[in-house]
Amino acid sequence: MCGIVGAVGHENCSQALFDSLRRLEYRGYDSSGIVTIDESEITLRRAVGKLINLERALQVSPLSGAIGIGHTRWATHGGVTTENAHPHVASGRVAIVHNGIIENHRVLRNRLQADGHNFSSDTDSEVLAHLFVEALDQGLDPARAAQQILGQIEGAYAFAALLVDYPDMLVVARNASPLALGVGDGACYIGSDAIALSHLTRKVIYLKDHDFALVRADGVTVYQADGTPANRESVIVAANQGLVDKGGYRHFMEKEIHEQPDAIAHSLAAMTGADGRLTAQLDDKELQDIEGMVMLAAGTSHYATQVARYWIESLTGVPVSCEIASEYHYRSPATSPYSTALVISQSGESLDTLMAMRHAAACGMKTIGLVNVPDSTIAREADMVLPTRAGPEIGVASTKAFTAQLTVLLCFAVALGRSKGMLSRDQVADIHAKIQALPGLVGKALGLFDVIRPIASHLATAKSALYLGRGVLYPLALEGALKLKELSYIHAEGFASGEMKHGPIALIEDDLPVVALLAADPLMAKASSNLREASARGGRIILLSEARAAAEVDYADAVVTVPDVDPLLAPILLAVPAQILAYLTAVEKGTDVDQPRNLAKSVTVE
Ligand code: F6R
């Protein structure tokens, strides 16, 4: 992942870069660094760990200069050390920051080392700095140097280079990894996304894959890979993308859990037409043309697709295949049954998901991007966009984006069902009225913190936990288990409860926490029998359930109830106690809730 930033022409460049890095810390927080050119010399500050450590280093020894680049790292090649922190400097003449993976770095490094280049890190990225030194030594100007280097490297990259011999420009390029160029007043900037630049400018130019550019204080010149100049239009991005704060909550995650009624209401508004009816943001013809759907996503967004499959298949009759994005195109999937790829990503930048979407497009499918970040790469590349309006999600574990995704997906399924003639106008109106009640119901579920706190205290002592659900609650079991493991580092697995007897029930032993998701749906009796079987073998049942269903259960060790809802809505409502349970367990264990170890918010490597 990693975040990269750059500035040229800003009089307090180091501070501007640091403020940009704060906006990008969601992309990685293993180490960070900034480099500037001051009096014709490269000056570098780097620190391992969170940005606060870099801030301290800059307080002790500030950086001056009007041009610089910075980086916040999520380690891929090379451990978390100062030497492996970016920027990387070669021969005191070139500094680079890079996001992505240079896949052929070994071959390049061996060649450069044989030619006398001394490397100081274990990273793949450092080859870029040495390739620039090599190209400049060959007498190439910065544009020709960049062009030569793009011809040599393979993989995903967004990088920026600072050249001591050309102290008035940054050289930048991208392929697959995101990069935004910001045009300011007498200064220009670069960042991994427009949010990084939101305190500096709203005028942004997005490079296309294989583009490179020279960024000077008075503007940018963009080239295509073959060196011909390219005209890339600037756009004005939305104003409210600034740094968000915790608003009095202890963690961003806690705040974002509480923001769910708004996130759902705003997302619902995006799916409601001027006439007050549900819309899929697609016209009737586009909806009718959907014959089969493949849904592509990663992590929590993938679990949202799995919930949506139940809705879409039952409400529309359209066949759906849910695919883990990182697996999709590498297994040459059969695509003929599917006309449409629905691609779901909070960030709109997950590289696995982007690559899967590109593969689907190359196979001739229409692509619909369901994203939370409106200017993201997936939003820009998809044929059509369905927005979630959850607002910036900063906590690494997705919460409000997930329930907003589910809300939009349910609205989409209903509109598609209507267009396919599977749902009558009255049925649609009935479901729509129920969906409209969701923000209020989720608001009520937020009152569960105190009920869940003692359950979380006990769960925090467990080594392992199971999550069980059946039907549309099965994917929610997977999501609940993911939340627990990523936040509290307790091993957790989600299973379809009917599948337990085929093997996993062997895991149950005395006092093993079993988080059971239950709703008053047609599968309730069967799901409840499965839970009873787990209880009979010593499992400690923590029931997260609608009130109606909970009333039928006499074997649970702890019970958390949400208001009764239509079974269609149960996964959205029950997501809330599952999130709160994981959150409070992590708080009890004292883990880093907003930035769990080894993770990053936006995963822009494959
Ligand atoms: C888990 C989580 C991740 C993301 C996944 C996809 O809580 O947040 O599993 O869901 O990395 O991210 P997006 O949706 O941004 O593509």
- pLDDT tens digits, one per residue of 339-383: 999 999 999 999 999 999 999 999 999 999 999 998 899 999 999
Instruction: Please identify, by atom number, the ligand 1 atom nearest to the C-alpha of residue 397.
Output: 7
Please state whether beta strands 513-518 and 464-469 pair in parallel, antiparallel, or not at all (unpaired).
parallel
Ligand 1 atom showing the smallest separation from residue 353 Cα: 16
Q: What is the pLDDT of residue 280?
A: 73
Specify the pLDDT at position 334: 86
Cα 247 to middle of ligand 1, angstroms:
23
Which of the 8 DSSP states describes residue 280? -
Among 442, 521, 504, 511, residue whose Cα is nearest residue 468: 504
At residue 218, the pLDDT reads 97
What residue's CA is closest to ligand 1, atom 10? 300
CB distance 350 to ligand 1 below 6 Å: yes
- As a whole number of angstroms, the distance between CA 374 and CA 382 comes to 11
Can you spell out the DSSP letters for 299-353?
HHHHHHHHHHHHHHHHHH---EEEEEHHHHGGG----TT-SEEEEEESSS--HHH
Residue to substitute in 193, 296, 350 for testing ligand 1 pocket (most ligand atoms within 8 angstroms of CB)? 350
Q: What is the pLDDT of residue 241?
A: 54
Distance CA 360, CA 86 (A): 34
Task: Write down the pLDDT at residue 95.
Answer: 98
At residue 98, what is the residue type? H
Cβ of 388 closer than 6 Å to ligand 1, yes or no, is: no
Please provide the DSSP assignment of 499-534 as one string.
GGGGTGGGG--TT-EEEEEE-SSTTHHHHHHHHHHH
| Residue 383: C-alpha distances to residues 180, 285, 378 (Å) | 21, 15, 10
Whether ligand 1 lies within 6 angstroms of the CB of 377 is answered as: no
For ligand 1, pick from 398, 579, 592, 606 the residue to mutate: most ligand atoms within 8 Å of CB. Answer: 398
Spatial separation of the C-alpha atoms in residues 105 and 127, rounded to whole Å: 7
Please tell me whether residue 75 adopts helix, strand or coil conformation. coil
For position 510, what pLDDT does the model report?
94
Distance CA 33, CA 587 (A): 30
**Residues noted as catalytic:** 2, 601
C-alpha 569/C-alpha 574 separation (Å) is 9
What are residue 545's phi and psi, to 5 degrees?
-150, 160
Question: Taking CA 381 as the corner, what is the angle to CA 377 and CA 387, rounded to the nearest 5 degrees?
Answer: 75
**pLDDT tens digits, 231-290:** 999 998 876 555 667 777 899 999 999 999 989 988 998 888 767 676 777 888 889 999
* 353 Cβ inside 6 Å of ligand 1: yes
373 lines ligand 1 (CB under 6 A): no
Coil, strand or helix: which one is 165?
coil
Atom 9 of ligand 1: nearest residue by CA position: 299
Dist. CA 182–CA 9, nearest whole Å? 12
Six token digits for residue 38? 């001051």
Ranges of residues in the chain with a pLDDT under 50 are: none
Count Cα atoms within 13 angstroms, Cβ side, for 57: 21
Q: Is residue 284 within 8 Å of residue 415, measured between CB atoms? A: no
What was the pLDDT predicted at 97? 98
User: Which pair of tokens denotes residue 539?
Assistant: 């499992």
Q: How many CB atoms lie within 10 A of CB 285?
A: 8
